[in-house]
Amino acid sequence: MPLVAHNDLPTFAKLQQEGLRVLTPGLADEQDIRELHIGLLNMMPDAALAATERQFFRLIGESNPIAQFFVHPFTLDALPREPSAREHIDKFYDSYEQIKEQGLDALIITGANVIGPDLSQEVFWEPLIEVADWAHEHVTSTLCSCLATHAVLDFRYGQKRFRQPRKKWGVYRHQVVEPSHPLVVDINSEFDVPHSRWNSVYPEQFESGGLRVLVTSTDGSVHLATSPDGFRTVFFQGHPEYDTVSLLKEYKRDVNLYISGRFENYAPMPENYFSEFSAAVCREYQARVEKSLAANTPIPEFPEHLVTGRLKNTWQDTATAVVGKWIGLIYQFTNMDRRMPFMKGVDPNNPLGL
């Protein structure tokens, strides 16, 4: 069933324009259908704040036709924000105190912008631990995305991430390695997932923490895993929520950082993402940029319009299916008032009976 536009957050209007069904509160009240309340802890930097909202709202709204979805975005006060982003947050986001008071059926935690290699030195570290620990006790299940996965694996399981020799950057093939798990049963046995990260937690670290690995990349790296009980915490290392153009936008950003002198080397193209034509366009643009920089002449405009229409999305269907299965499990285990621990009457060490 659809998302419910319970406030004036612009993301709801944008998703409606895309064709996603979004109910007004009045129409939602007329439906005799169960509500699910899902928190979105959005830790992304200002430039990606609204796009991240849309990506996760879309995944939820297109997932499982069993409930009306009320999605409650909130963030951490410790994160620095520009005035325009702060105004957006103050107007449309809940506070953490409101989230705790009203309760949630589930929680999604996004990635964040980091400054150094040690996550424990980041401004979000202690507030994130507080939210994650509260959710572990009071929310049915928490889904962690990319850097949030690294942070939770660090402070809860003692598994620190490692910087890779090169950035994992592009769209990669993956396979299901525990096909009987309810989160992946009956989905494609192989599928694509976008990645964009310099750091990784390796398979042996997941195993050392007692975690359940469900999906790995063809190079062996982990994309999807869960806490030992199989459900209370779900970990993504990739970005299945990405829009078709997300990697292109990131590539363009990195190219502009090189042009401005903030990057020493020209940005590599994301792997397995551009068509041959698009890759040729980007190589030609790089040559024009290098020529302009050498001659100190105006930089040509990035040819985004020549690339956008040729991009392929090979991950969204499977991403929606996995999130749909996650929400289906939440629906089974939650109670109507969202204030009772989901473990009531269920073995907390094996809620799925695996």
Residuewise pLDDT in 10s, the chain (354 residues): 566 777 788 877 777 787 666 666 665 455 556 788 999 999 999 999 999 999 999 998 887 666 788 999 999 999 999 999 999 999 999 999 999 999 999 999 999 988 788 999 999 999 999 999 999 999 999 999 999 999 999 999 999 999 999 999 999 999 999 999 999 998 999 999 999 999 999 999 999 999 999 999 988 899 999 999 999 999 999 999 999 999 999 999 999 999 999 999 999 999 999 999 999 999 999 999 999 999 999 999 999 999 999 999 999 999 999 999 999 888 878 865 555 455 556 677 777 777
Distance CA 285, CA 324 (A): 40
What does pTM read for this prediction? 0.88
pLDDT of amino acid 235: 98
Distance CA 231, CA 273 (A): 31
* Catalytic residue (choose from 53, 122, 178, 241): 241
146 is annotated as an active-site residue = yes
Which residues, in sequence order, are bridge partners of residue 233?
142
Q: Is there a contact between 74 and 96 (Cβ–Cβ < 8 Å)?
A: yes
Query: Which of 217, 239, 242 is CA-nearest to residue 313?
Result: 242
* Catalytic residue (choose from 88, 195, 239, 282): 239
Q: Is there a contact between 92 and 9 (Cβ–Cβ < 8 Å)?
A: yes
Instruction: For domain 3-242+313-333, give its CATH number from 3.40.50.720, 3.90.1150.10, 3.40.30.10, 3.40.50.880.
Output: 3.40.50.880
Query: For the segment 295-312, what is each residue's pLDDT rounded down to a tens digit?
Result: 999 999 999 999 999 999
Distance CA 226, CA 214 (A): 8
* Catalytic residue (choose from 146, 150, 178, 250): 146
| In the chain, domain spans | 3-242+313-333, 246-308
174 is annotated as an active-site residue = no
DSSP state of 88: H
Angle between helices 46-61 and 83-92 (to 10 degrees): 30
126 is annotated as an active-site residue = no
